[in-house]
Structure 1
Amino acid sequence: MIFRRRSVVDEEQGNARTARQRTGSPHSPGRHRLDVLHEAAEPGRQHLRLPVEDDRTELDLTLTRHEITLVEVTPLTEETPEWWDERRLLGKVPG
């Protein structure tokens, strides 16, 4: 398996300018608006597990207009014990 992390900056994600415009383009933003702008400046992130077949994996990427994306690919070693049941974590008893 492969772990894929994708960081995206485009017109919506990782774009403090868009957030500033949507908050009324304040000349001197208050503490709350500054927090919003700092949060908006963080890239959007996606995490996936991808299968490996014949020492290859397939990345399917579609970029939006003016998008910049960074893809980090890391080999993954499964460490989950065989007895682990994710449903139990959420209080769902296996039937």
Structure 2
Amino acid sequence: MSPRQYLTVVAAAFVLSGLLIMLLPLSTSGPNGLDVSCGNSLGAGFDEIDVSAESAALPEVCARLRAERLAWASPVAVLGAAGLVGALLVRRRT
């Protein structure tokens, strides 16, 4: 396998893993011990009214969880995208 192909495979794995991590659902324990859904790191699947009905502090906890997940998953995806662009722009030696 050439270095260009290797870089393409690794970069694609980084992009896919970063996107997958962003889309995985988050949850936290409520005051009654049951899991409360916080949606994913992009905010999809999060219902603030239902979460605040459990406890007034849970929307802030969910927001912090989403921000932390997004803070380390987005650089993984961006690094992979940069690697893909780099692998596509590098010319082959003839």
Question: TM-score surpassing 0.5?
Answer: no
Looking at CA atoms only, which structure, 1 or 2, has the larger radius of gyration? Answer: 1
Q: Which has the higher contact order (CA 8 A, sep 6+)?
A: 1
TM-score with structure 1 setting the length: 0.28
Higher helix proportion (structure 1 or 2): 2
